[in-house]
Structures are given as C-alpha cells and as structure tokens.
Amino acid sequence: MVVGFNINFREKKTFVARILIFKKKEKKRASPNGAKTCKPRVFLAHRRVLEFSFSFQFDPHSIRSIVKPMKMESTLKEYFGFSTFRPYQKEIIEKILEGRDSLVVMATGSGKSLCYQVPPLIAKKTAIVISPLISLMQDQVMALKQRGIKAEHLSTAQTNSNAQRNAENGEYDILYMTPEKACFVSNSFWSRLLNTGICLVAVDEAHCISEWGHDFRVEYKQLYKLRDVLLNVPFVGLTATATEKVRNDIIDSLRMKDPHVAIGSFDRKNLYYGVKSVNRGSSFVDELVAQISKYVANAGSTIVYCTTIKDVQEITKSLCEGGIKAGMYHGQMSNKAREESHRSFIRDELQVMVATIAFGMGIDKPDIRHVIHYGCPKSLESYYQESGRCGRDGIASDCWLYFSRGDFGKAEFYCGEASSANQKKAIMDSFMAAQRYCMQTTCRRKLLLEYFGETFASNKCGNCDNCTNTKEESDISREAFLLMGCIQSCGGYWGLNLPIDVLRGSRAKKITENQFDNLPYHGLGKDFSANWWKTLGFQLISFGYLVETVKDTYRTVSVSQEGAKFLRSCRPDHQPPLLLPITYESDGNQDKKSTVSDNIAGSGHDGMSQAEAELYKMLLEERMKLARSAGTAPYAICGDLTLKKIVATRPSTKARLANIDGVNQHLVTRYGDHLLQSIQQLSKQLDLSLDGAVAVEASQANNNCKAYTITKQPKDLSPAKYGAWKMWQEDGLSAEKIANFPGRSAPIKVNTVLGYVLDAAREGCVVDWTRLFNEIGMTQEIAANIQAAILKVGSKDKLKPIKEELPEEVDYTHIKAWLTMQDLGMSIDVIPSSNQHAEQHCNGTEESERATVTHLSEEPCKTEAALFDDSPRKRQKVELSEQGSGPSPEITEASLLDWIQSFRNGVTLSDILKHFNGSTEATAIDLLSYMESEFLIFKKNNLYKLM
C-alpha cells in the first residue's frame, strides 16, 4: 500500500504514481473488477527516499477508503474552520459521495447544510440545492462566498445576466435554485451541466414536499421530474421537522431508492423555552418593548413573530417609538421593501425584526438570541421551525411564546388553507398540538421531542420555564370531580365550553334543549370564571384525565380511563387528593400575572473576565466595520462563538489564529492581518496578554505551583477528602495508588481522588499544581478548549453540557481543575505548555521510531514503515543497520510535507525535532507557523497534520 504519492486516476483504473514510501507485506486480493493490488518492495538507502514512477492496474476503492476521510477533514478545516465533524455529518457525506440517496432530519443549527456543501468541494463537481425562499438562498450564497466557496443562485432576484451560462459551464461549487426554476429550466441546461459534472441534488426544507407537513408547497411535488433528467445523481432531502409520516412521504415523492436515512436529535440544548398567557393590549405591548430594550442592550438580534399583519405594524411602531431599530416583514409589503428589510436585519443594521410566519424559513442568521411568538402558532412544527432560527451558533438563547385565549379560536381559519381532507386533518392535529404546548404545565422540551418521536428520558430538562420555575401545587380534587363529572353527564360529545357553561349555571338555548340545566352539576361552578375552568380542563388533558378528539374542525372532550378511575373513587362529599400545579389563571389572582419574561439568555459573559468581555464588545465593533467595507453580514465574516474563542486565546500570529476552531482559510488570508492588529492593540489597552495567557493581579499570579502543607483540617472539608489530599500532597502518592490503597475496604475511582484534591485546594489546601497537571495531562490547549466550551454553553453551573461540547479526550477532571483555578484566581500561565507535555509523552519512544535501511541489491526488508493511521508513537519496533549514517536532515517546507504525510494521526513538535535533528527548534517552529498560516498543515490536540 502506498504511503505518500501523487496520483492521476485514469478511466480504466490505471494510474501513474510518484512513490515516496511503501508499506510492504500487503496481501494480494482481488478487486471488484478482477484486478489485483500491487505488492511493491521497500527500497530505502541511507535514510533517503528513492522516488520513481510506474503504472499498474489497481483497485481504487482501497486507496479511497484512506484518502477520502483525510480529504474530508482537510476540506472542513480549510473552508469552514472546524477540525472535527458534528454527529452524523461525516457518515452522510460519505454516503452522498458514494452516490446514494439520503434523507437528513436534523435540528436547525446541527449542521445539515454542511452535508451538501462539503461533497462538491471534494468531488470538484457542482451541487444543486433547491431552496424555498429567495432571501434564504441569498443569505447562504453570501456566507459561502465569505468562506472562499464559489456559490450562486438562479432566481428572479438574480441580477447577473451571465449566472446561468456560468452555471452551465460548471463554474460554481454550489448552485441554489427555487423549485419553480428547477422544474421549468430547459433540459439543455441540465444536459450541459451534467457534462461538466453534478455531484448531488439537495432539496432543502424537504417537509414542503409533503401534504402531511406544516408548510406544504405544490411546486415541491414536481421535483421528482428531475430524476428522469438527472440520472445516477444522488438526491438528498433535508429538513429540521418531519414526523414519520412526513419522512415516508418525502422518500416516496422524490422517488428515492434505498436511501440512507439519518435522524438526529431534535433537542436544541442551548435554547430556553418559555410560555406565558397574556391579555392583549397596549399595556402588554409597552412591557414587551421594555423587555426587548434589555435584549438590545446586551447585543444579539431578536425576531418577533406575529399571527396578523396588524400586530406586526403595531409592535414595530411601538418599538421604533421606544428608540429601537426595528423593521417589519409581511406579505402585503412590496418585494423591494421586504428585501431591504431582510438585508438590513441580516447586516445588523436592524436590531429587531417583527414579522409574520412568512419570515420563518427565510432567515439564515446564526446569531439571533431571542425569538418571541406573539400569539399561538398554527402548528407545533412551524413553532419548532421558527423558534429554531434562534441560537443556531450554539450559544445560549431563548424562545418565548405569549398567547391569549382568543388564539385558540383560529382553527377554522387555518383549515381554510387546506386543499384536501387529509391536509385539513393534518392542520387541525398540528394546531391542537400547539395549543397543548401553550397549556403545558410539565416539561416543554419533553413534549416537543416526543411529538417528533424522540424519547426524552428525564421528566425535567432544566431549561424551560416549567422546569426552572418552582410551581406550587394545589389539591383541586373537588373542581376536577365537578368538571369531569359534568363532561361525562353531558355524554362526551361536546367541547369544553358547554360543560363549563353548565357548571357556571347558564340557561342558554343549547343547554335547556338538551335538559342539561337539570343536571346535579348545574351552577356548582359559578364561583370561578370560564377561563379558570378552561385552564383546569387543559391541565386535565395534559395529565391524561381528559381526552380531546377532533373530527373535521370540531373538537370534543371526553373522560379518559384514568379520569374514569378517579371518578369511581369519588363521592359527592369526598374526593381523593388530586394535586396539580397552580398556574396564574388557576390561582385566580390576575395581579400576580407576569406578562413578559425577565430571562435574558445569551447575554452574559460566563467564563470571561471583565476585560475579556470588554474586548469581545470591541471586536464586535471591528467585525461590523469589516462587514460594512465588504458589503456583507457580520456573521459571514466570523461567527459570535468563533469570536469568543478568539477573545479567549488572543492569537498573536496567523498560525495561532488559523488553529482556532471555526477560523477558515478565507478569514485568515483576507482579514487575518487586520484582526491580529486589532487584537494586539485592544489587548494592550485592557492589560490582556496574548496567546491565551490571562493577565492577573500580582497577588493572584503568585498563587502558582508552590507546594506547602496545611496541618489543620479545614472546617468544611470532610475527613475522607482531607485524608486523600494528605496522601497525595504530603506522602506523594499518585491518585491511582490512593484509589487502590490497601487499607481501603473497597477501591474508589481515580477521578474521585483527584476531585478530593481539587476540593481541598478550594478550602485553602494549596497543592503542587505542576505535579497535578502532569498527572491529569492538563495543557494550556485543553484549558482554552474548556473556556471556549463554557462560553458556548453560557454557564458553568452544570458540567455535563460543558463536557458535551469538548473533545472526547477532555474529561470531567480537566473541567473541574480549570474551574477550580478560575475560582482561585490563578493564571493559565501556570499550566505547562502543550510542547512540554508532548516532550514528556514522547520520552523513551526513540527506539520505536527507528527505520530499517537496506541496500538496493538486498531482499525486501522484514519490517514495516508507518502507514497513514499510525503516529510515530504507535510504530512497531524496527532496527537500524546504519545508525547515524548520512548527514543530519534539515527541515524545509518540501521535506516536512514529504515526511508528515506518512502519519495520518499527525506528529508532535518533539517528533519533528527528532527527525529533522539538523535544524533548531526555533527554525522548526517558525516554519510550522508559516505552513499553518498557509493552510498546508493544521494543528489539533498538539499534533501537526497535513491539510
């Protein structure tokens, strides 16, 4: 098998290669077409690689299985700035490159678009993307261009007359089209584009295909016709919201053959969900304006979704009068006005967008911090879709829904949009689900996830209003008995309104005609308002005591089996306790009713010092200046989360900037010099040192690695923790030895011991930090990753969300150690550098890195050279026949590239210095920094890898 080579594939699977190194003892095996793989010999002389060229028949699949993952990862870093894929992405991309149809159902913000953006960059063919809205296409094209990707759209908004001809000639990596354009463009266009190469057809927002979906589009139903023209081109359907019925409809409608189906989690962990019942009117609007003013003061954009154009206009007017830069977007505006409003919002010239649901899919802005729904949405799918515009960059954000009772009477209006009985039923079912979400008194996230078929094990998510606000419970057994008994006595053929009217003593015609005024329940509930009884009814539905059924547009409520069981246990004078949460309406005290939320997600600077928070604000302004000069959106230059990582590390060179997750090649080459200059100047003003070293007060800086003993046990430290600390600190035992100490009745976990040591440090027992860092493998890079994860999560109260944002090799002990350091005011400078750890890690590996040298006339050597998936630390032991023969190799760009491509897992600085022992460390570091900035190599987890 070839280790380093330049390949030119031929149609007949014959290629010419410039061979650098081989791995011998490759077993012969038949390829799918009958050709056999090559078994070359290894010829190395005086530690120099012999280069030669030849041709042979070869099974390309074996080499592609190695090359493809490397190409995928290097493409990801070069264009998107990330060193690792998110869950499902890599597998989906591989299936697409294999030519397989795929259906991708993943939450908004989980990286669906990357699944169709990476393949064309690898295959060097055009990807066709069908998108429902022109504004959405324009946003995505703008963002891709800022990544150095050739992208364009074909639509009525396209002003470039040469765009279609350029597309036919294959000049674009990604070409966006509306479904109308894709269906009605001439076959000659597709034929010419097929000749230049099409790698996939992606159907974004694919739920629009299904009449069972919440946003059915007739034009999407015609997309199957493209399959007759684009033979052997894989189709990819992508959506964030699709029930099983909708998923099957998408597969059938697009005529997918054995598709790869990837269904990710619908859980948007960074989003806070909240709902409040409000009284519509000027007083609520005034409070809403005051709340949005707080949002604006903390940066980040806000969307307010309204159900009517009148609401859009009134709220926009109130916001503008309150000094807030707000725009509006609705169907009665001209195309030009909508485009201008949309463009201003995207470029942060507007702080708030007030819109109807027409704005739902038409926004691709990742830094929206707050989404407010003013009115109950028409479906839970549309609510998930619209609220999903929030926090797409992963930073903590919130979604609030404010509804009134009048919103629930719009079922018939929404059903009027239906063109079939099936669609009418789908609309009604979806509207009822949205109504249940509004009235829910238990975990909202659990309801959302289970609606989409995802199991949520816990009953509390800890990130919605019902889980974070402590609700008092009240025994409403008598009232529940009255309502359920009345519903049962009325036959269960009515909605909630009629039984409630009976309870409140009404003598309306419908009641007297059915003789319901003679029921024993008549008039027994007149002490409570109709809304109070409706709230109780929805709670009983939520807890399974009542069942709501829909037929056509009519809803009926009946007693469930659980409710019947409760009624059987009741007597008129006694009912068993039934505890339900008290809501503002069920409490009957309207004065306690809060109209808007005090929660402001994503506004804090958790994990940032005051100086770093100030630096972040300054860099936001610098980013805005760059965006205005480039005529683009600030987020297209650099996302908020990436900017926070830049603030945390404060790079001094292009190489360090390029190594930050989220920084791509285009950002480094086009804006790198300006960013580095700004970081250097602003950091100096704020007394912040560069390259991740946080400036601290002199007194704090002295709290470093000095080791001394506290003989007296701190008051708040348990004997077990104090004892473990003494054994580790005073006796010098390792955590592993302490965990398995013979005197223990049973061993404990090593991480538990380390946690005890850290707890002792918090209580004043100063530890030998250098020793601790070496024992747990703590590096400055790990600390920077943890700090970035804390910034993304927005809180350090819980460790699990932080751990989920970190690489697998970073464990809870690393996180606890970093948090302890922060609490003690310690600097990151006391943590050993990555290179120090790498050198210690590589001690004793010199013998394992020796290579066999033979003469050309000798038999093939019996040892193996390292292949792609081996790092120098994993090589097999080999022997050197002429140790030290030949001159010491010096490091150059060409020699390093030739050598480093042999190691798929990368090499450390120590490995490089040992191999190129004719060069100094300073020379090697300078060259590595230059090659990182040029994106020839990249650094991940202290390992240098080939792009």
Q: Please check whether residue 46 lies inside any domain of the structure.
A: no
What is the predicted pLDDT for the residue at 599? 55
pLDDT band for position 671 (50/70/90)?
A: very high
The SS3 call for residue 613 is: helix
What is the predicted pLDDT for the residue at 916? 85
What is the predicted pLDDT for the residue at 563? 92
Residue 934 has pLDDT above 80, yes or no: no
Final residue of a domain: which of 440, 468, 496?
Answer: 468
Q: Please check whether residue 387 lies inside any domain of the structure.
A: yes
Same domain? For 655 and 578 the reply is: no
pLDDT band for position 843 (50/70/90)?
A: very low
At 524, the amino acid letter reads L
Measured in whole angstroms, the distance separating CA 848 from the mean position of its chain's CA atoms is: 40
What is the predicted pLDDT for the residue at 829? 65
* For range 876-897, the mean pLDDT: 58
Residue 598 has pLDDT above 90, yes or no: no
Same domain? For 196 and 248 the reply is: yes
The DSSP output letter for 78 is I
Final residue of a domain: which of 780, 815, 839?
Answer: 839
Measured in whole angstroms, the distance separating CA 290 from the mean position of its chain's CA atoms is: 31
Residue 763, class by beta-carbon neighbours within 10 Å (0-12 exposed, 13-18 middle, 19+ buried)?
middle
What is the predicted pLDDT for the residue at 38? 42
Q: Tens digits of per-residue pLDDT, 635-650?
A: 989 889 899 889 988 9
What is the predicted pLDDT for the residue at 658? 87
Residue 131 has pLDDT above 70, yes or no: yes
pLDDT band for position 724 (50/70/90)?
A: confident
Q: Tens digits of per-residue pLDDT, 745-801?
A: 567 888 888 988 998 888 878 788 888 988 888 888 888 888 888 877 777 778 888
* For range 128-150, the mean pLDDT: 88
* For range 373-385, the mean pLDDT: 88
Helix or strand (DSSP H, E) at 401: strand 397-403
Please give the Cα distance from 233 to 773 (Å, whole number). 53
Q: Tens digits of per-residue pLDDT, 527-567?
A: 898 888 988 888 898 788 998 887 766 778 999 999 999 99
Ordered DSSP codes for 667-725: HHHHHHHHHHHHHHHHHHHTT--STT-----HHHHT-SS------SPPTTS-HHHHHHH
Task: Work out the angle at residue 74's Cα, subtended by the Cα atoms of residues 69 and 76, and round it to the nearest 5 degrees.
Answer: 95
Please give the Cα distance from 709 to 448 (Å, whole number). 54
Tokens of 438: 């509004």
Q: Pairing between strand 368-374 and 352-355?
A: unpaired
Ordered DSSP codes for 723-769: HHHHHHHTS---HHHHHT-TTSSS---HHHHHHHHHHHHHTT----H
Q: Say how many Å lie between the first and final Cα of the chain, rounded.
A: 21
Out of 321-330, 468-477, 604-613, pick the least confident: 604-613
Beta bridge partners of 373: 305, 401
Same domain? For 931 and 851 the reply is: yes
Same domain? For 166 and 297 the reply is: no
Q: What is the CATH number of the domain that holds 335?
A: 3.40.50.300
- Across the beta sheet with 368-374, the strand order is 271-277, 397-403, 368-374, 301-306, 352-355, 326-329
Which one has a higher pLDDT value, 406 or 615? Answer: 615
What is the predicted pLDDT for the residue at 712? 59
Please give the Cα distance from 602 to 217 (Å, whole number). 35
Same domain? For 408 and 555 the reply is: no
Residue 153 has pLDDT above 90, yes or no: yes
Same domain? For 785 and 653 the reply is: no
Q: Indicate the average pLDDT of the chain.
A: 78
Which one has a higher pLDDT value, 495 or 716? Answer: 495
Which one has a higher pLDDT value, 868 or 445? Answer: 445
Q: Please check whether residue 929 lies inside any domain of the structure.
A: yes
Same domain? For 290 and 397 the reply is: yes
Q: Could you list the residue range(s) of the whole structural domain that residue 420 is in?
A: 271-468
Tokens of 488: 């049962």
Q: Please check whether residue 406 lies inside any domain of the structure.
A: yes
Task: Work out the angle at residue 267's Cα, subtended by the Cα atoms of residues 263 and 271, and round it to the nearest 5 degrees.
Answer: 145
Final residue of a domain: which of 213, 243, 263?
Answer: 263
Q: Please check whether residue 587 lies inside any domain of the structure.
A: no
The answer to whether residues 301 and 345 touch, using CB atoms and an 8 Å cutoff, is yes
The answer to whether residues 372 and 402 touch, using CB atoms and an 8 Å cutoff, is yes
Same domain? For 861 and 899 the reply is: yes
What is the number of structural domains in the chain?
Answer: 6
The answer to whether residues 92 and 115 touch, using CB atoms and an 8 Å cutoff, is yes
Measured in whole angstroms, the distance separating CA 562 from the mean position of its chain's CA atoms is: 40
What is the predicted pLDDT for the residue at 944? 82
The answer to whether residues 563 and 570 touch, using CB atoms and an 8 Å cutoff, is no
What is the predicted pLDDT for the residue at 585? 55
136-140 long-range contacts, CB within 8 A, separation 24+: 136/204, 136/361, 136/362, 136/363, 136/364, 137/176, 137/178, 139/346, 139/363, 139/364, 139/365, 139/633, 140/113, 140/176, 140/364
Residue 31 has pLDDT above 70, yes or no: no
Residue 693 has pLDDT above 50, yes or no: no
Out of 613-622, 735-744, 914-923, pick the least confident: 735-744
The SS3 call for residue 826 is: coil
Residues 436, 441, 445, 446: what is their CA dihedral angle, to the nearest 10 degrees? -80
Q: Please check whether residue 685 lies inside any domain of the structure.
A: no
The SS3 call for residue 617 is: helix
Which one has a higher pLDDT value, 854 or 464? Answer: 464
What is the predicted pLDDT for the residue at 606? 55
What is the predicted pLDDT for the residue at 762? 83
Same domain? For 704 and 771 the reply is: yes
Task: Say which residues have a Cβ less than 8 Å from residue 277's Cβ, sequence separation at least 6.
Answer: 402, 403, 404, 405, 438, 583, 584, 585, 593
Q: Tens digits of per-residue pLDDT, 340-365?
A: 888 899 899 999 999 987 665 557 78
The DSSP output letter for 877 is P
* For range 704-723, the mean pLDDT: 60
pLDDT band for position 479 (50/70/90)?
A: very high
pLDDT band for position 427 (50/70/90)?
A: confident
What is the predicted pLDDT for the residue at 698? 29
Highest mean pLDDT among 240-244, 259-263, 630-634, 901-905: 259-263
pLDDT band for position 459 (50/70/90)?
A: confident
The answer to whether residues 624 and 630 touch, using CB atoms and an 8 Å cutoff, is no
Q: Please check whether residue 600 lies inside any domain of the structure.
A: no
Q: Please check whether residue 50 lies inside any domain of the structure.
A: no
Out of 21-35, 135-149, 709-723, pick the least confident: 21-35
Q: 387 vs 30, 280, 312, 384, CA distance in Å?
A: 54, 21, 17, 5
Of all residues in the chain, the percent with pLDDT exceeding 90 is 28
Which among 304, 402, 282, 399 is positioned nearest to 350, based on CA atoms? 304
Q: Tens digits of per-residue pLDDT, 280-292?
A: 888 899 999 999 9
Same domain? For 177 and 144 the reply is: yes
The answer to whether residues 837 and 777 touch, using CB atoms and an 8 Å cutoff, is yes
Same domain? For 827 and 876 the reply is: no
Same domain? For 542 and 629 the reply is: no
What is the predicted pLDDT for the residue at 222? 86
* For range 719-726, the mean pLDDT: 83
